[in-house]
């Protein structure tokens, strides 16, 4: 069963796992809310990875795998941060946590 979240007068529909249903509604207040829920302090590195995830999903209509993300991180953030290890520093809950914070739909819906 889906749930509704209201932030600053705007309503967001989330699935039973807390993923945003309509990624076009994702915005800064929702990013802040997700970050708080996931106990992540959003940095510019997080933001660049989130932007990559959102752009990739919009273009390809699918979720990237973590190796693809780390390759993009290497190009965007530099070789010292372009690794799966650094990705897990940014998102300790893994790739699904990153997808949720980025406002992407759940990869495999089980709700």
Going by C-alpha positions, the residue among 38, 88, 48, 45 that lies closest to residue 66 is 88
Please, are residues 98 and 56 in contact by the beta-carbon 8 Å criterion? no
Cα(104)–Cα(111) distance, rounded to whole angstroms?
Answer: 15
Looking from the CA of 51 toward its CB, the CA atoms found within 13 Å total 10
Active-site positions read: 110
Rounded alpha-carbon distances, angstroms, from residue 104 to 16, 35, 52, 96: 14, 14, 12, 9
């Amino acid at each position: 069963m889906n749930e509704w979240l209201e932030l600053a007068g705007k309503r967001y529909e989330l699935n039973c796992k807390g993923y945003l249903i309509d990624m076009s509604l994702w915005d800064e207040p929702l990013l802040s809310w997700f970050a708080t829920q996931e106990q992540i302090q959003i940095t510019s590195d997080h933001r660049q990875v989130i932007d990559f995830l959102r752009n990739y999903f919009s273009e390809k209509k699918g979720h990237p795998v973590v190796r693809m993300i780390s390759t993009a991180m290497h190009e965007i953030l530099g070789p010292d941060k372009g690794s799966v290890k650094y990705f897990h520093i940014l998102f300790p809950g893994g790739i699904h946590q990153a997808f949720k914070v980025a406002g992407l739909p759940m990869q495999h819906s089980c709700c």
